[in-house]
Amino acid sequence: MISKFLLAAASAGFLLGAAPSAMAADAPKGPKLNHAIAVALTDIQKANAAKDYPAALAALEKAKAVSGPTTYDTLMINRFAMGIHVGMNDLNAADVDAEAAADIDPSEIPDADKAAVYKPALQLAMNAKHYDKAVKYAKAMMTATPPPSAADLTLATQAFYLGGDYAGATGLAQKNIDAATAAGQKPARSDLDIILASQVKQKDEPGAEKTLESLVANYNMPEDWNQIMGVALTTKGMRDIDYIYMGRLMFLQAGKMSATDASLVGSTASRLAFFGDAVQAEKLGATGFPPAGPKADADKKTIPAQITAGAKQNGQYNVKLAQALYGYGMFPEAITSAQLAKTKGGATDPTEADMVIGMAQTAAGQYADAAGSFGGISSANPASARVVRLWGYFAKSKANPATAAK
195-247 residue pLDDT tens = 999 999 999 999 999 999 999 988 888 888 888 988 888 899 999 999 999 99
Backbone φ and ψ of 404, nearest 5°? -80, 145
Euclidean distance between CA atoms 111 and 105, whole angstroms: 12
Question: Nearest 5°: CA angle at 309, between 307 and 315?
Answer: 85
- Smallest CA-to-CA distance from 77 within 46, 42, 108 is with 42
Give the DSSP H/E element, type plus range, for residue 12: helix 12-16
Whether residue 381 sits in one domain with residue 274:
yes
Domain assignment present for residue 255? The answer is yes
- Strand partners for 186: 404
Cα 160 to Cα 126: distance, rounded to the nearest angstrom: 10
- Residue 47 DSSP one-character state: H
Amino acid making up residue 396: K
CB 172 within 8 A of CB 394: no
Residue 265, domain CATH? 1.25.40
Q: What per-residue confidence (pLDDT) applies to 401?
A: 67
Residues 238 and 157 in one domain: no
Helices 222-233 and 205-219 pack at an angle, to 10 degrees, of 140
Domain boundary among 119, 137, 164: 164
For residues 240 and 333, state if they share a domain. Answer: yes
- Is 384 domain-assigned? yes
Whole-prediction pTM value?
A: 0.74
**Tens-digit pLDDT profile for residues 351-379:** 999 999 999 999 999 999 999 999 999 99
Work out the percent of the chain whose per-residue pLDDT is above 90: 77
Give the whole-angstrom CA distance, residue 64 versus residue 345. 88
Per-position DSSP letters for 193-249, written without gaps between them = HHHHHHHHHTT-HHHHHHHHHHHHHHH--HHHHHHHHHHHHT-TT--HHHHHHHHHH
Is 17 a domain residue? yes
CA 21, CA 298: separation in Å to the nearest integer? 71
386 & 268 share domain: yes
pLDDT in tens, 239-275: 999 999 999 999 987 667 889 999 999 999 999 999 9
Same domain, 147 and 231: no
pLDDT of residue 28: 44
- Give which of 225, 224, 188 is closest to 403, Cα–Cα: 188
Lowest mean pLDDT across 52-56, 98-102, 150-154, 394-398? 150-154
Distance CA 123, CA 97 (A): 12
Domain boundary among 144, 164, 184: 164
Q: How far is CA 314 from CA 282, 310, 324, 371, in A?
A: 32, 7, 16, 27
Cα distance between residue 231 and residue 168, in whole Å:
26
**Predicted confidence (pLDDT) at residue 406 exceeds the cutoff of 90:** no
| In-domain check, residue 349 | yes
Q: Do residue 273 and residue 343 come from a single domain?
A: yes
Q: 8 pLDDT band (50/70/90 cuts)?
A: very low
28: preceding bond cis by omega (within 30 degrees): no
Q: Are residues 252 and 361 in the same domain?
A: yes
Q: Is 404 strand, coil or helix?
A: strand
Mean local confidence (pLDDT), 295-311 = 97
Number of domains making up the chain: 2
CA distance to 67, 174, 321, per residue, from 249 (Å):
72, 29, 19
* Residues 151 and 245 grouped into a single domain: no
Q: Are residues 145 and 261 in the same domain?
A: no
Average pLDDT over residues 44-61: 96
Residues 6+ apart with CB under 8 A from 120: 18, 22, 23, 82, 86, 94, 98
Eight-class DSSP state of 285: T
- Average per-residue pLDDT for the chain: 89
CA dist., res. 157 & res. 205, Å (int): 21
Same domain, yes or no: 252 and 389:
yes
d(CA 389, CA 378): 10
Domain membership of residue 154 (yes or no) is yes
CA distances from 392 to 90, 217, 224, 238, 397 (A): 50, 8, 15, 18, 8
Find the domain containing 270 and state its range. 221-399
CATH number reported for the structural domain that contains residue 62 in this entry: 1.25.40.10
CA distance 386 to 397: 16
Would residue 6 count as lying in a domain? Answer: no
Query: CA–CA separation, 69 vs 40, rounded Å?
Result: 13
Whole-number percent of the chain with pLDDT over 70: 91
User: Within this chain, do residues 238 and 383 fall inside the same structural domain, yes or no?
Assistant: yes
Which DSSP symbol is given to 89?
Answer: T
**Domain assignment of residue 98, yes or no:** yes
* Alpha carbons 392 and 398: distance in angstroms, whole number: 10
- Tell me, yes or no, whether 209 lies in a domain: no
The last residue of one of the domains, among 115, 142, 164, is 164
Residue 88 and residue 230 share a domain: no
State mean pLDDT over 127-137.
Answer: 96
pLDDT at res. 12: 32
> Do residues 332 and 364 lie in contact, with contact meaning Cβ atoms separated by under 8 Å?
yes
pLDDT at 325: 98
